[in-house]
Amino acid sequence: MFDRNVTKVVQDCILDSGIQAKVVAEKINKPYSTLMREINPFDASAKLGAETLLEIMKVTDDIRPLQFMAMEMGYDLDTGTA
């Protein structure tokens, strides 16, 4: 299929949240179509900004994207170790 990347983790974060993506888009003040492009791991021309990522994690109450990024950097947020 494809390698796991931060965009896919963010997409999963929204899809698994139990909150419709349109509602997430409204809560973060982003057009739905733009949000869907930004969280599409196959759309290389749309980029998800850090501020938007933070808002998505707040709305969904899901820190998997942060955990994924920490793991990619060699850190474990659960233990606080590198």
For residue 46, what is the domain's CATH number? Answer: 1.10.260
Give the range of the structural domain holding residue 52, as residue numbers without chain letter: 6-72
Angle 59-56-12 from CA coordinates, rounded to 5°? 105
Instruction: Provide the 10 A C-beta neighbour count for residue 18.
Output: 6
54 neighbors 10 (Cβ within 8 angstroms): no
Q: Is residue 15 part of a domain?
A: yes
List pLDDT tens digits, range 11-59. 999 999 999 999 999 999 999 999 999 999 999 899 999 999 999 999 9
What token pair was written down for 38?
């930004």
What percent of the chain lies above the pLDDT cut of 90? 83
Q: What is the pLDDT of residue 59?
A: 97
Q: Is residue 22 part of a domain?
A: yes
Q: Is residue 14 part of a domain?
A: yes
**CA pair distance 24, 49, nearest whole angstrom:** 15
Q: Taking all residues of the chain, what is their mean pLDDT, rounded to a whole number?
A: 92
Q: Output the pTM of the full model.
A: 0.88
